[in-house]
Structure 1
Amino acid sequence: MAQESRIDVALALKEGQAEPGSAEVAELAATLAPEVWFAGALERSEGGGRQADVVWDLSGTYKDKTARGKAAVYYANPKLGLRRPFVFADGFNYGPSDLPGLFAYFNTPYDGKQGLFDQLLGQGIDVVLLGFEERHTYIQANAEVAIDGILRVIAERVGDERLTVGGVSMGGIVTRFALAKLETQKVDHQTRTYLSYDSPHNGAWIPLILQQLAYFFEDVTPAGPDGVKQADLIRSPAAQQLLWAWVENSKYSGPVATSSPLRKEFLEDLRRFGDYPAVPLKLGVSNGRRDGVGLPLPAGEVAFDWQALIASATARFQADRGEKQKIGGMHLGLAVRRSTTTDVPALDGAPGGTLDSFGKVADALKAKISDDFRSGTFVPSVSAAALAFDPVTWDVVPTLSITDADLENGHLDEVAFDTDNHEHSHISGGLIDWIVARVGR
């Protein structure tokens, strides 16, 4: 029987050090970034933007909570109306969607070619972007917003051309859930093709030591705009549901694989709806490689080591399985915490779409870090490709060289991989060409 994937935190008092005074704590707080850790913004393309022809307000209800969002509609020909809809949902982040930014980003020109959306619009395909008022809320809630958007598209459509529906990152999970639920409810979603863009079908990864650091230093970090604190994204419902391994605070010892009740509930809801929509052709792309070649990050080695007068933080790359493997530690005043993991794979260096998670935390602490160590894997290729493995136990080798047979046994009909392990949601010419060829056919 396999061991339980878990974390253990040893608590101790730092010898020879007094409890820091208010002035020392204030000095430390002044050096820490008052912002949500792990959040980011898509880099807008120069000249890639365009004003939407119309914007719809959307909403949905989940657990007596009303979730809201918007759909930005870009007509291929405004005189003809909405005829060939391509519906694409925004992904995981904190706060509201920036739909103009999403359009500009995915419309980035490449290799002397127009961007994705300009190519689709040029083929007579209308683009509908789905955004959410709270990207960090429950996936089920934003799936209700997506359902409202899909049904609005069907109602507004001229003719009977079937839809393409999908999204980037969490947006691919939101629309997967929405389509599967509609099928279970016997509602015709009129969708021919489903598309996920580097979506974490079996879970995403943010290093456990970095999650702990977000919680640990939060109490002495001033809140950002609107009272937002640095661990608000990592503790959000969406993070709990998307991350394969999650911890609830910096002191937590115990299981980490699907440890949040919210992830358990989300996976159960997915199972009730058949896991994936059955009707449409299911396409997916991964920003990682398929040949098993990951990032050159030494498992178990120090990524950065930060020392201040009254505080410190050490972050190691995730060790590969094993028992009581060191992943780092932290201290503030007298409190010292050292963390180890058992049977957790070395996911930082797995093939996949990357996130500059180590870099973001090092920058927030003003710690020195090598450029080579800034980014680790966020969405492993085996997850973006929706291979057939257990999303709870992760009974898969993250560095698997993915064969055609693996894909045939997986949950998607066709999958394209990047030429290297690029940043999560990266615009790669080969991936965009692949999408245009299949959506436009």
Structure 2
Amino acid sequence: MAQEPRIDVETRAQGVEASLSSEQVERVAEALGQQGIWFATPPEREGQARRPEVVWELVGDRPHQGYTATGRAAVHLAEGHDALTRPLILADGFNYGPSDLDALWRHFNKPYAKGTPGFLDQLRKMGIDVVLLGFDQRHVAIQANAGVAVSAVLRAIEERRGDDPLVVGGVSMGGIVTRYALARMENDRIDHQTDKYFSYDSPHLGAWIPLVLQQLAYLHESLSPRSDGPGQAELIRSPAAQQLLWGWVDSADYSGPVTSASPLRQEFLEDLRRVGWFPMRPYKLGLANGTGNGSGPDLPPGTPVFDLQHEALQLTARIQPDMGELQNIGVVRFGAPVWTSATSHVAAFDGAPGGTIDLWGRFADAAGLPIQDRFRRSAFVPSVSAIGLARDPFQWQSDLYLDLGDLPKDETFLDAFCCDAGNTEHSAPSRPLIEWFLEQLAGW
């Protein structure tokens, strides 16, 4: 039987302020760098955002544990349409705070090939009305924002002229929110009138943020707490992060299992199974920003990304090692050790094929640390997760580097999927993915 992946903090950060002088605490905090909320993705600012014909203000159709989420949808009618006719709902992904629907338009409509219109403009030329769905709090529980998605589907049905079916899905977490929403509607016998469901680099089995970076966010927050807003680890501790991340820790000092550290993830997966796991009626499409050939980024397991030595201060952080017992992933030392951390039975997620994110690079830039270009980006949504490999979310990591080229149909929860030609940026509108998706919609 496989050992449960875990993390062990060998020297605890608790009480660092008492063991170090105020100057030493300040220097450690300065070495950790980044202020503000760690891992929050800045909005897309380049390019023009089209003005929507109408914006729907939305309220979740039901509360989740007493909280009713809210959001809005920007409706961009297809060329030649004066009313909603063939709606495609694209839900926003995971981040902190409210969605920026103009930024979402700019992101998905930026040219992915010279001389080619953006993805959303191509949809509109095909006679498809684009409905961009956003949430006022992207980091709250997925079930809460799924209520907003249900309201958007019902509003689209109500506003639609004619009886063309819907296409419903989303990017990143948005694909999980809409997956749950459609499955819940089916479980409740509510007709969602959706012909196709799609997920764009969505973590069906889980997403990955390096455990050492999660811990350093907590450590930085304890050394340099903010009084004017959310702390540095606020995104990591959010309900949505706990539900989505395959490995999660709740503090810099946490020791124990990492797949079952959060009850919110267990509860969400049980809730998802209760409503049917996936919606059954729509044809289910998956797009993965990672390759399908088993080849990931060049990130050798256990390699130090940062190895800062400054007077008595040492800061070391490593690429996630591959399995093993008590594999060191990070050290903070000021004369005597302040904090050391090691993992056991954790797979080499950082270098897995998948949609990538520049978490290591952002940390380096914020802390003013040198970093090799190849270490800037690591896997965020492994390809096997984005294509919905038929695995238990708590066990799937053994297949991270699986070649998906000849995958039998019953080995995925989806009906069809497409992997990218390279391990591209998470959620990026790349040519192979967009052209494949447009082909899937051509006969709709």
The two structures share one fold, judged by TM-score above 0.5: yes
SS in 2 for 1:338: strand
2:9 corresponds in structure 1 to 9
1:274 corresponds in structure 2 to 276
CA distance in 1, matches of 2:129, 2:440: 15
1:203 corresponds in structure 2 to 206
For residues 44 and 127 of structure 1, do their structure 2 counterparts lie closer, same or farther at Cα, with a shift above 3 Å needed?
same
2:237 corresponds in structure 1 to 235
Report the more deviating stretch, 79-88 or 281-290: 79-88
CA distance in 2, matches of 1:182, 1:81: 25
CA distance in 1, matches of 2:330, 2:135: 36
Match of residue 393, structure 2, among 384, 391, 411: 391
2:316 corresponds in structure 1 to 314
Match of residue 181, structure 1, among 171, 179, 184: 184
Report the more deviating stretch, 62-71 or 185-194: 62-71
Match of residue 223, structure 1, among 223, 226, 230: 226
TM-score by length of 2: 0.93
The one-letter amino acid paired with 1:86 is L
Residue correspondence of structure 1 range 66-85 to structure 2 within 5 A: 66-77=68-79, 80-85=82-87
| Preserved CA contact (<8 Å) 1:330 1:338 | yes
The one-letter amino acid paired with 1:200 is P
CA distance in 1, matches of 2:417, 2:53: 32
SS in 2 for 1:239: helix
CA distance in 1, matches of 2:34, 2:312: 17
CA distance in 2, matches of 1:238, 1:121: 32
Give the Å deviation of 1:22. Answer: 3.1
Identity of aligned residues (%): 53
**What do residues 4-34 of structure 1 show as CA deviations (whole Å, max 9, x unaligned)?**
1111111169xxx994433554466567332
Give the Å deviation of 1:395. Answer: 5.5
| Preserved CA contact (<8 Å) 1:143 1:178 | yes
The one-letter amino acid paired with 1:359 is G
CA distance in 2, matches of 1:18, 1:181: 50
| Preserved CA contact (<8 Å) 1:24 1:310 | no
| Residue 428 (str. 1) matches residue 413 (str. 2) | no
Q: RMSD between aligned alpha carbons?
A: 2.0
Give the number of equivalent residue pairs.
Answer: 436
**What do residues 253-274 of structure 1 show as CA deviations (whole Å, max 9, x unaligned)?**
1101132100000000000011
For residues 8 and 80 of structure 1, do their structure 2 counterparts lie closer, same or farther at Cα, with a shift above 3 Å needed?
same
The one-letter amino acid paired with 1:102 is L
The one-letter amino acid paired with 1:379 is V
1:290 corresponds in structure 2 to 292
**What do residues 22-63 of structure 1 show as CA deviations (whole Å, max 9, x unaligned)?**
35544665673321111112434424x201111111112211
CA distance in 1, matches of 2:352, 2:311: 35
SS in 1 for 2:381: strand
2:44 corresponds in structure 1 to 43
Give the Å deviation of 1:404. Answer: 3.1
SS in 1 for 2:179: helix
SS in 2 for 1:382: helix
2:163 corresponds in structure 1 to 160
For residues 50 and 141 of structure 1, do their structure 2 counterparts lie closer, same or farther at Cα, with a shift above 3 Å needed?
same
Gaps of 5+ in 1: none
SS in 1 for 2:350: helix
| Preserved CA contact (<8 Å) 1:385 1:415 | yes
| Preserved CA contact (<8 Å) 1:257 1:393 | no
CA distance in 2, matches of 1:201, 1:273: 15
| Preserved CA contact (<8 Å) 1:389 1:396 | no
CA distance in 1, matches of 2:45, 2:195: 30
**What do residues 248-298 of structure 1 show as CA deviations (whole Å, max 9, x unaligned)?**
101111101132100000000000011100000000100000000111111
2:368 corresponds in structure 1 to 366
2:421 corresponds in structure 1 to 419
SS in 1 for 2:284: strand
CA distance in 2, matches of 1:257, 1:84: 41
CA distance in 2, matches of 1:228, 1:88: 28
1:107 corresponds in structure 2 to 109
| Preserved CA contact (<8 Å) 1:305 1:367 | no
Give the Å deviation of 1:364. Answer: 2.8
For residues 407 and 361 of structure 1, do their structure 2 counterparts lie closer, same or farther at Cα, with a shift above 3 Å needed?
farther
2:379 corresponds in structure 1 to 377
| Preserved CA contact (<8 Å) 1:20 1:333 | no
**What do residues 369-416 of structure 1 show as CA deviations (whole Å, max 9, x unaligned)?**
111111110000000010111101226321111133344421111101
Match of residue 194, structure 1, among 190, 197, 214: 197
CA distance in 2, matches of 1:429, 1:45: 19
CA distance in 2, matches of 1:439, 1:284: 13
CA distance in 2, matches of 1:245, 1:21: 33
**What do residues 115-166 of structure 1 show as CA deviations (whole Å, max 9, x unaligned)?**
1110111111101011011111101111111111111111111110000000
2:149 corresponds in structure 1 to 146
For residues 67 and 104 of structure 1, do their structure 2 counterparts lie closer, same or farther at Cα, with a shift above 3 Å needed?
same
Report the more deviating stretch, 332-341 or 203-212: 332-341
